Amino acid sequence: MCENLRIGLGHDTHRLGPGGPLRVGGVSIPHDRHAIGHSDADVLLHAITDALLGAANAGDIGQLFPNDDPANLQRDSRELLAIAWRPLADAGWRVQNLDCVVFAQQPKLAPHWSEIRQEIAAVLSHPEAPVSVDQISVKAKTGEHVGHIGRQEAIAAQCVALVRSPSKPPAAPVA
């Protein structure tokens, strides 16, 4: 049955600057560049946050955590994701699965997938609805040395979230 299923799409891009590490999915990855942003600039967690908020029609990350608010300066994106997701999970929203892509020329991210998936699952898990790593897909694509991704000027991520909404659809009218 497909009832009560909702889909959300999230995207984020950040410029890269000299010096590392690079923060992806809540994990610090050794690299000679880091993402530049008001918070810790974790593109993957930002894309996941937007995907979940979008699926619930609950706004976006910029509405909840404006980039001109000093309280969000260098803020850990795991905290932002938890704050955005927790009230939805408390209201009965449930993660079915996440499918995520990180766009980065370097570094190679595959060796970090297990740790990244564990971090995401830990942040999203709710006492009444744990989230397992099997519900989270993360993969990477390079820019093939083309464009801002390929020149290592930026990193980006996209996420599609499938969630189950807490409300039951109205019963079909009886004929």
pLDDT in tens, 85-142: 999 999 999 999 999 999 999 999 999 999 999 999 999 999 889 999 999 999 999 9
pLDDT at 100: 98
3-state helix/strand/coil string of 100-137: EEEECCCCCCHHHHHHHHHHHHHHHCECCECCCHHHEE
Dihedral Cα 45, 49, 51, 57, nearest 10 deg: 180
Residue 136 tokens, joined: 């989270």
pLDDT at 57: 95
pTM as predicted: 0.92
SS3 32: coil
SS3 78: helix
Query: For 152-172, what is each residue's pLDDT tens digit?
Result: 999 999 999 999 998 754 444
The domains found in the chain, sorted by start residue, are: 5-164 (3.30.1330.50)
